[in-house]
Structure 1
Amino acid sequence: MASNAQGSSSVKALLVEDMPVDTLLLSTMLRHFHCETKVAKNGKEAIDLFLEGNKFDIVLVEKRIPIITGPEAVEKIRAMGETDVKIVGLSIETDDQEAFMSAGADVFVSKPMKLDVLGAMIQEVINKKNNAMV
């Protein structure tokens, strides 16, 4: 599957997660697809990365993160004009989907995320980047 998700350019991913086990699991999955990954441990760190001028192709954000929640972070990132980045809301609670979608997330995935689901999203991001370069 990894070879299917390789493009001519590296995908820049931001993982916003405060649980060490989930951070390890998701960052390993992102590396499987050759993503250049940064990790933020809370919503404020994620927002600060955007304010510093960092650009990401995909953001995976957990709902229950400290300081600023996942949906609040999504809303603030979108309010900064970051409309091209694919934002994926993550939570073990399927009830959290509405909070993410109304905040501006592109998709919601309940945990645990499956490798093939992430792979399809990474491939979609690569296709979008490659089409933008044409």
Structure 2
Amino acid sequence: MRSCHLTALIVDDDMIVRMIHQRMLNSVGVKNEAVENGKEAIDLHNSGQSFDLILMDIDMPVMNGIEVTKKLRSMGIDSMIAGVSARYIDEHTQEFIEAGLDEYLEKPLNIAKLTSIIHRINKFHIR
């Protein structure tokens, strides 16, 4: 499956997770960028960059995924934001979802989950 020139931002403090997600996105033709905390994600958007998909971790230093998602939504960012976390659904994940996520995925993210999300974004772009 190849994307239609989609872009993605990976926001995760774990370098290995960032690398794995980048490799998966590259394998399906999604141009991507990775940052290690929420503040860096906000800074990228403030600099004028935009992304079709944001893969957002919940537990990060500086700004966590909940804070970043709320901030991005308040800035009018309408990218698909997929929360990606090793946590089981609990009160924090519920708060994460309510912050403005479009999707919540448990780690480890796999290629099937990723291609499902990309397919949904592609359908939206074709309309």
TM range (shorter): over 0.9
Counterparts of 1:52-71 in structure 2, within 5 Å, are 52-71=47-66
Deviations 1:45-93 (A, max 9, x none): 001111111111000010111100011100000000112x100001100
Q: Distance in 2 between matches of 1:31 and 1:127?
A: 19
Q: Distance in 1 between matches of 2:21 and 2:34?
A: 10
Q: Which runs of 4+ in 1 moved over 4 A?
A: none
Shift of 1:20: 1.2
State yes or no: 1:90 paired with 2:84: yes
> Residue 27 of structure 1 aligns with which residue?
22
Q: The residue matched to 1:18 in structure 2 has which SS?
A: coil
> Residue 104 of structure 2 aligns with which residue?
108
Q: Distance in 1 between matches of 2:55 and 2:43?
A: 16
Q: Which has the higher contact order (CA 8 A, sep 6+)?
A: 1
Q: Tell me if the contact between 2:24 and 2:111 (Cα under 8 Å) persists in the aligned partners.
A: yes
Shift of 1:102: 1.1
Q: Distance in 2 between matches of 1:16 and 1:72?
A: 13
State yes or no: 1:12 paired with 2:33: no
Q: Which residue, out of 35, 43, 62, partners 1:40?
A: 35
Shift of 1:97: 2.6
Q: Tell me if the contact between 2:15 and 2:36 (Cα under 8 Å) persists in the aligned partners.
A: no
Deviations 1:73-130 (A, max 9, x none): 00000000112x1000011002243021111011110101121011010111111112
Q: Distance in 1 between matches of 2:38 and 2:124?
A: 26
Give the number of aligned pairs.
125
- The root-mean-square deviation of aligned C-alpha atoms, in Å, is 1.1
In the alignment, structure 1 segments of 5+ residues that lack a partner are none
Shift of 1:21: 1.1
Q: The residue matched to 2:61 in structure 1 has which SS?
A: coil
In the alignment, structure 2 segments of 5+ residues that lack a partner are none
Q: Distance in 2 between matches of 1:41 and 1:21?
A: 11
TM-score (normalizing by structure 2):
0.93
Q: Which residue, out of 101, 126, 130, partners 2:126?
A: 130
